[in-house]
Amino acid sequence: MDTTENNLQTQLNLFNRGTQYVTLKRPCTKGDGINFFSELEIENYKNEYEKALTKGKKVMKFVPASGAASRMFKHLHNLDSKEGNTPLINNFFSKIEAFPFYNELETKLFQVGIDLSELIKTKSYSEIADKILSEDGLGYADTPKGLVKFHQYESKVNTAFEEHLIEGMKYCKNNEEEINIHFTISEQHILPIKQHIKNAVNKLQKEHKVKFNISFSVQDSSTNTVAVDLVNNPLKDENDDIIFRPGGHGALINNINKLDADIIFIKNIDNVAKKTLQDKNMLYKKALAGRMLELQENVFYALKRLESNRITSKLLNCIELFLEVRFNHTIPESYSSLNTKDRVDYLIAVLNKPIRICGMVKNKGEPGGGPFIVENETGTSKQIIESSQVNLNDTEQARIWNSSTHFNPVDIICSTKDYKGEKFNLNEFVDPNTFFISKKSNNGTELKALEWPGLWNGGMANWLTTFVEVPNATFNPVKTVNDLLKEEHQAA
């Protein structure tokens, strides 16, 4: 993933090759690829996780937070377009006083002699939108999503960053009252983000007698990909230099690769609820982590037995069954013709991988990926699949895609160390064939962009993966600003 001449040619070859589709076998459903917890299991797994923390397990929360808020406010950008006043726009302005940034907007306008209530009364929507988006107002057109005010409390308004810090205290607190959180951020917003988080951390540390260890990274420029025209020729800028673009969030596997922790929680920046919902959500977070630790213990035990001199048919059969039941991994037919040594080598290769447990919510029509059993040359495996990876022109593949019952809310807990305590090189477990090509524009010029395998689909394709159903209440995304009007974001 670098911009050297050899890699440039490799990328151009990928454009000529085109998007490679996966082969879906069936969707993962409850009881078939997706597990679910009883109340007793939730309590037991939570206890196992908390016990692990007392033994010194290092926990870290990883939050991809480099996204700009511009997409949240897309419908405000379109106010003067031929779309007119859509239901989304009408709903926004009819309930504008309920947004957590309303008071700040009102104050800013008052300072320059503008009465916001009068603008609302006269339906001067374009002027209000301009003050929300432009630099002489709230500046939300060029603000990171994490700095947008999400929740209004009685005497405080919290941004998404602040809510992630508060949430982190509830499930990422290590044995010594330390909370490790890593944010990936955009390079142009480093200073305001760091200052904002520093201020928030100082207040929380004083109030709760804890210590935050906050770290940051930006997407490595060496993961950028070449931009091409519609016939796959590299595009150049006014200085005749080839144009490279960020290679999508799949490139963040490099950022995770540099983290040092026993347990890593992954959660998107916009997926936070008001404080009153966080306690129940944290119960499931801890339960998922406890289940992941149980799986890790089983995998490590199997690997140690396979490396011993006490190999029996019974042991091999047990491990084969474990892979099928826990990870839906199908042993290929060629396995039966292997001698004992080769069978052991095969099982070690399958087991000695990073582990992830992924919460899944029932699909209620949200756009995005979901859990599937996927076929390939080595058998079957569980994968999180996006629609761009599926040939929806194939009737059978489209049928399987549309029969999915669950959705990926990006509620992922990872183990990135092997049974000897050494860190895996996560780039070795990426499926390079799951890249995809998207159409973009640059200064009015149409172009094609190459995006590396997505972080939680192709980027983690060769991990040991298990899915667990979690309540929809644990999934509270803010994809458009109007989502802040939902009950889970209307804080008391």
Q: Is residue 248 classed as helix, strand or coil in its secondary structure?
A: coil
In the numeric block, the tokens 């997926």 are attached to 271
For residues 54 and 80, membership in a common domain is answered with no
- Is 432 contained in some domain? yes
- d(CA 475, CA 408) in angstroms, rounded, equals 10
For residues 317 and 357, membership in a common domain is answered with yes
- d(CA 353, CA 33) in angstroms, rounded, equals 19
Where among 125, 143, 161 does a domain terminate?
143
- pLDDT on residue 95: 94
Give per-residue pLDDT as tens, 98-152.
Answer: 999 999 999 999 998 999 999 999 989 999 999 999 988 899 988 999 999 999 9
Alpha-carbon 192 to chain mean position: 23
Strands 406-415 and 263-267, how do they pair?
antiparallel
Please name the helix (run of DSSP H) or strand (run of DSSP E) that holds residue 62, with its range, or none: strand 59-64
Q: Are 430 and 461 in contact (CB under 8 A)?
A: yes
Which residues, other chains included, contact 128 with Cβ-Cβ below 8 Å and sequence gap of 6+? 93, 96, 105, 116, 119, 120
- Is 458 contained in some domain? yes
Whose CA is closest to 197, among 234, 168, 226?
168
What mean pLDDT comes out for the span 339-367? 93
- Is 291 contained in some domain? yes
DSSP string, 418-475: -TTSPBP-GGGG--GGG-EEEEEEETTEEEEEEEPPPTTTGGGTTSEEEEEE--GGG-
* Residue 367 pLDDT grade (very low, low, confident, very high; cuts 50, 70, 90): confident
* Residue 365 pLDDT grade (very low, low, confident, very high; cuts 50, 70, 90): confident
For residues 438 and 467, membership in a common domain is answered with yes
Give per-residue pLDDT as tens, 263-293.
Answer: 999 999 999 988 888 877 899 999 999 999 9
Q: Are 189 and 144 in contact (CB under 8 A)?
A: yes
Q: Are 411 and 288 in contact (CB under 8 A)?
A: yes
- Is 154 contained in some domain? no
Q: What residues are paired with 217 via a beta bridge? A: 184
Q: Are 450 and 232 in contact (CB under 8 A)?
A: no
pTM confidence score:
0.92
Q: Where are the beta strands (DSSP E) in 225-378?
A: 225-228, 244-245, 263-267, 355-362, 370-376
For residues 79 and 54, membership in a common domain is answered with no
- Is 168 contained in some domain? no
- Is 231 contained in some domain? yes
Where among 102, 117, 143 does a domain terminate?
143
Where among 127, 143, 159 does a domain terminate?
143
Percentage, residues of the chain above pLDDT 70: 96
- Is 135 contained in some domain? yes
For residues 116 and 241, membership in a common domain is answered with no
Contacts of 199-202 spanning 24+ positions with Cβ under 8 A? 200/159, 200/161, 200/162, 200/165, 201/165
Give per-residue pLDDT as tens, 464-490.
Answer: 999 999 999 899 999 899 999 998 898
List the domain range (segments joined by +) for residue 300. Answer: 5-58+223-247+267-475
For residues 17 and 104, membership in a common domain is answered with no
Length of the chain: 492
For residues 95 and 227, membership in a common domain is answered with no
For residues 108 and 242, membership in a common domain is answered with no
Give per-residue pLDDT as tens, 312-345.
Answer: 999 999 999 999 999 988 888 889 999 999 999 9
For residues 271 and 321, membership in a common domain is answered with yes
DSSP state of 417: B
* Residue 376 pLDDT grade (very low, low, confident, very high; cuts 50, 70, 90): confident
Mean pLDDT taken over the chain: 90
- d(CA 483, CA 486) in angstroms, rounded, equals 6
For residues 100 and 125, membership in a common domain is answered with yes
Number of domains in the chain: 2
Q: Are 373 and 381 in contact (CB under 8 A)?
A: yes
For residues 90 and 54, membership in a common domain is answered with no
Please name the helix (run of DSSP H) or strand (run of DSSP E) that holds residue 409, with its range, or none: strand 406-415
Q: What are phi and psi of 339, to 5 degrees?
A: -80, 175
